[in-house]
Structure 1
Amino acid sequence: MFNLEKIVRSNIQQLKAYSSARDEFKGVADVYLDANENPFGTLNRYPDPQQIRIKEKLSEIKKANLDQIFVGNGSDEVIDLAFRIFCEPGKDKALTFSPTYGMYDVSAGINNIELIKQRLLADFQINLNQLQPYLEMDDVKLIFICSPNNPTGNIINKDDIIYILKNFNGVVIIDEAYIDFSTKESFISEIKNYPNLIVSQTFSKAWGLAGARVGTAYANSNIIDLYNKVKPPYNVSSLNQKAVLVSLNNQSKFGIEKNIILIERAKVIDQLYKIPMVKKIYPTEANFVLIEVEDADKLYKDLVEKKIITRNRNTVINNCLRITIGSPEENQKLINTLEEL
């Protein structure tokens, strides 16, 4: 049975969080002389350390309580803090399913945590039979599941994820960076059912704010308390918080742009099927498509020469390129160039 106290690092349990000036005073005043700030300028004040206005909007949109939401410096901070909170360096382990997002591996290495990488099946789904022994290992504290998965684009079977949540005594992090492009529902609605679940999302993809570096985590309040305890005091800048609020207050723009991307995704896939060098197109529920070609290394270089940049994934999936869905003009240029090549 999952017990949060048993898997949190002892030093994190005993840690007393830093209390900033803006944590101690949360109202509005005429004169601020508490935080050693410069009294001049437009960015002279520290940002809200708890990002309350963002959380209030997200609470409405995502149907989650304020104390179930963490706002971080990109979803990479969500990943990194999970290692810091739950994994003892040089001792504990984490697990993920390859091929997948490479930052899990990098963050594990930075935190001196062994990352077990179980190969996905041919259809890029989890092999539960091979997974079972790891679910019973006491030193495996985290499991990362990217769904829709990067770079494959597919959703991981919900029943498989539920099985893992029910049978693993550690924390399961579902990385939903691309969920806005999917027909499937987010796992945020399952937080109330599984105390070991963290759902990570980002403003970098469908919200078009990759330059702002803002990510979110949704979990039960006990886990969110740990995140808030460990994070840097002012982890999201005022500029980035403002950019997020502008987007959250203009959901019609978000919906229009997302719909364009989905329409373009269907068009690009349809046109890719007509190009002889494309041997296979993998199903996708993200804003990119993974294709298998005759010679990925050569095609990648040929496209670079035409000033079109894709992602060569040949080192992780044989002869595959990952192609992001761009604007209608960009997509047409890609197709025209592929036809010429």
Structure 2
Amino acid sequence: MKTEWIRKTIQNFEPYFVAPIAEKNVINANENYFNVLSIPAVKQELIEALDTFKPQIYPKPMADDLRKALAEYVDLKPENIICGNGGDEMITYLLGTFLNPGDKLLVHSPTFDMYELGAETLGAQTIKVKDLAGYRRDKEGLLAAVKKYQPKITVICNPNNPTGDLLPASFIEVVLKAADNLVFVDEAYMEFAQKESVISLIRQYPNLIVLRTLSKAFGLAGMRCGYLAADQEIINAIAKIKAPYNLNAFTQLFAQIVLRHKEELFKVRDDIVEERKRLFDELVKIPGLTVYPSCTNFLLVQVESKHEEIFKALKEKDILVKIYRNSAELPNAYRISVTTKEVDDTLLEVFRKELS
């Protein structure tokens, strides 16, 4: 194939790569360990719904019933919601709707890779504001950059992936007031923080866009269901580039069932939060290791030595964590999804042994 056939903005593009997985305990992707189908009422409701389910019929283009259920969940109107195949697709739609070649995207750093990767494919420029020591966001630096550059889109991941840091809603409101353009807040992990959401500010700020997902606290990562919440005019604009039947009928059906059982899932969420606190307290005690406070279902950990050795030792225990190799922003780091006490105790055993 001739290289010139490829669009210029992606000729040197490195795709987001996910390696094959062989381990039994996969704690590298911030998935929820809990299977929602283990709730008898959820399973029964799904079985009954399948009696009238028609896979031969195209899904509703705007996922009308699901939009209504999600709007009720976040206390907005259905017109303020647009749904898609997980947060990744929603990020792609958002950037594809508003970014032109040469436009500026502002992010804090380190953060989720997909914002910069998406901007790069569109020929946009990414400006980064580096975190302060301890991976706390540089609020003054971020606000100054918004005022200086007035980027087309300012991105705030809150709580942040991969650091777990949470910014107060009051600061994000300051950013909204300072920005002439769009402010995009990724709240994929907000259910674990249980506070500080800015989604209610959509009524006041027409330049605010919030991303939410059912992949994390609701345990539907494999079903791919994410959604954007924003002013109706923004939603209508994003709908211009949305594929007509982007969210399949089964996901639309099952997501509504899961939302009706959110209280049971929030009990699991609370258990994960408690286990995160326990795991953090135990990791802090290990010499040669630094663990950072988190408001999510994962922890960021850095080691002073044996970076690769620890990763291999965990694999031998059938545990796969997210490892950051050759990263200037996250040297000698792992991101660890919080799951069960059994898995976490095995992980702690490996860290203690390798760093003793």
Does TM-score exceed 0.5, indicating one fold? yes
CA distance in 1 between partners of 2:191 and 2:141 (Å): 30
- The CA deviation at 1:186 is 1.2
In 2, Cα distance between equivalents of 1:232 and 1:66: 19
Structure 1 residue aligned with 2:285, among 250, 274, 297? 274
Q: Pairwise CA RMSD of aligned residues?
A: 1.8
Query: Residues 70-104 of structure 1: CA distance to partner in whole angstroms, max 9, x if unpaired?
Result: 11111112211222221112x21211110000111
Question: Of 269, 272, 290, which residue of structure 2 is paired with 1:261?
Answer: 272
Q: Map 1:266-305; keep pairs closer than 5 Å.
A: 266-278=277-289, 280-295=290-305, 296-305=307-316
> How far off is 1:285 after superposition?
0.2
Matched, 1:126 2:138: yes
- Across the two proteins, how many residue pairs are aligned to each other? 298
CA distance in 1, matches of 2:308, 2:126: 28
Q: 1:188 to 1:131 in 2, by over 3 A?
A: closer
CA distance in 2, matches of 1:111, 1:298: 39
- For structure 1, the residue ranges without an aligned partner over 5 or more in a row are 1-40
- In the superposition, the TM-score normalised over structure 1's length comes to 0.82
Q: Deviations over 1:79-137 (max 9, x none)?
A: 11222221112x21211110000111111122221111221222421342465254343
Higher mean alpha-carbon deviation, 327-336 vs 112-121, is at: 327-336
Unmatched 5+ stretches in structure 2: 1-52
Distance 1:223 1:136 in 2: 24
1:179 deviation in Å?
0.4
Amino acid at match of 1:88: N
- Once the two structures are superposed, residues 234-257 of structure 1 have per-residue CA deviations (whole angstroms, 9 ceiling, x without a partner) of 110012112211211212321121
How far apart are residue 62 of structure 1 and its match?
0.9
Residue 81 of structure 1 corresponds to 93
Asked which structure has the greater RCO (Cα within 8 Å, sep 6+), the reply is: 2
Q: Does 1:309 align with 2:328?
A: no
- Give the alignment partner of residue 344 of structure 2, picking from 310, 314, 331: 331
Aligned residue in 2 for 1:340 = 353
Q: Distance in 1 between matches of 2:222 and 2:269?
A: 18
1:283 Cα deviation from its structure 2 partner: 1.0
| Matched-pair contact (CA < 8 Å) for 1:126–1:160 | no
1:57 aligns with 2:64: no
Are 2:183 and 2:209, in contact at CA under 8 Å, matched by a contact in 1? Answer: yes
Q: CA deviation at 1:223?
A: 0.6
Q: 1:136·1:168 contact (CA, 8 Å) conserved in 2?
A: no
* Residue 116 (structure 2) aligns with: 105
Contact between 2:99 and 2:119, CA under 8 Å: does it hold in 1? no
The whole-number CA distance in structure 1 between the counterparts of 2:138 and 2:230 is: 23
The alignment's TM-score, normalised by the length of structure 2, stands at: 0.79
- 1:128–1:160 CA contact under 8 A, matched in 2: no
Question: Is this contact kept in 2: 1:126–1:156, CA < 8 A?
Answer: no
User: Is 1:67 aligned to 2:79, yes or no?
Assistant: yes
Counterpart AA for 2:342: E
Higher mean displacement: 122-131 or 162-171: 122-131
Once the two structures are superposed, the pairs formed by residues 140-289 of structure 1 within 5 Å of their partners are: 140-278=151-289, 280-289=290-299
CA deviations 1:214-270 (Å, max 9, x no partner) are 111111111111122221101100121122112112123211211121121112112
SS of 1:310's equivalent in the other structure is: strand
Aligned equivalents of 1:224, 1:130: Cα separation in 2: 26
Paired letter, 2:246: N
Aligned in 2, Cα 1:243/1:130: closer, same or farther, shift over 3 Å?
closer
- How far the C-alpha of 1:313 sits from its partner, in A, is 2.9
Structure 1 distance, partners of 2:138, 2:172, is: 9
AA of the residue aligned to 2:322: R
> Following TM superposition, by how much is the alpha carbon of 1:340 offset from its aligned partner in structure 2, in angstroms?
3.3
